[in-house]
Amino acid sequence: MAEKPSRKISLSYTDGSQGRISFLEMGRADAAAVVFVHGFAADLLTWQFCLVPMAANYRVIAIDLPAHGKTHDAAGDCSLDYMADWLNAALNLLGVEAAHIVGHSMGGRIALALAEAHLEKVLSLSLIAPAGIGGHFHREAFERYLYEGSEAAAHAAAVQLVGTDNTAYIPALTSSLIAAATPERRETLLRFLRRIESASGDLGVYDWSQLHCPVTVLWGDQDRIIPVPDGLPNLRRIDGAGHVPHIEASRRVTNHILEFLNVL
């Protein structure tokens, strides 16, 4: 008999080689795992609107990346290789042999790196506005936010994150950005930002043929941080959404991911 899914959302912690890893887990312990990887200067709670619908049929796990949320600050050189190995080790600690990976922005690019280096861990990829796959990355508001550390700069960055009809989310996003950029973490976040930038030039256009797992890509059609590039596989545009469609249009995003997973 299948286990009854858990709908309780609470943080848990485990210790990896670099220190504490923060995560939450819910849903069916006996089902396939779906692992959520957040973006730059966010945390696992960015997925809060998507988790409960997914938990009815899956083992759902959301993880805080290094120097984000309540996970340890040690992020190595912030490179894709380092982060792919870190995520692989984190999944091993959580007893995840393989999972469907959902990644947003920087987390989407880390998910791609995981599939490149540890394909056995990846059943499928659902990528939301993945960074570093080519095209222009509008980083200016985030650089100012990190260099200044002011509420005004965080607010300006939050404004850039959402579509024009989704301004109600700006105060919460501003508060989240302020909390993320602590003095202790600001330099690490800048290193992450530079890594995203270095992977986002025209010479960094992503070669999708190197992937050997099912992929779907979701992108807000009003994304002002990373406008939708050409040549994306299985693309679903989210009308009216900016760079955080999993927050702005969580039901549409979740339904699309579920539809994608249900036909695998």
> To which residue do tokens 């036909």 refer?
263
Cβ(70)–Cβ(97) below 8 Å: no
DSSP string, 39-53: -TT--GGGGHHHHHH
Element (H, E) at 180: helix 170-180
For residue 205, what pLDDT is reported?
Answer: 76
The dihedral sign for the CA sequence 130, 133, 139, 143: positive
Rounded to two decimals, what is the model's pTM? 0.95
Burial class (CB in 10 A: 0-12, 13-18, 19+), 73: middle
pLDDT tens, residue by residue, 42-92: 999 999 999 999 999 999 999 999 999 999 999 999 999 999 999 999 999
| Distance between start and end Cα atoms, the chain | 23
Q: Note the pLDDT tens digit of each residue in 166-213.
A: 999 999 999 999 999 999 999 999 999 998 877 765 445 788 998 999
Residue whose token pair is 């009809």: 165
Identify residue 5 by its one-letter amino acid code: P
Q: Which amino acid is it at 252?
A: R
| pLDDT tens track for 201-256 | 544 578 899 899 999 999 999 999 999 988 899 999 999 999 999 999 999 999 99
* pLDDT for position 152: 97
Task: Let me know: does 8 contact 36? Beta carbons within 8 Å.
Answer: no
Task: Enumerate the β-bridge partners of residue 125.
Answer: 101, 215
Residue 1: pLDDT over 70: no
What percentage of the chain reaches a pLDDT higher than 90? 83
Domains within the chain, CATH numbers bracketed: 11-262 (3.40.50.1820)
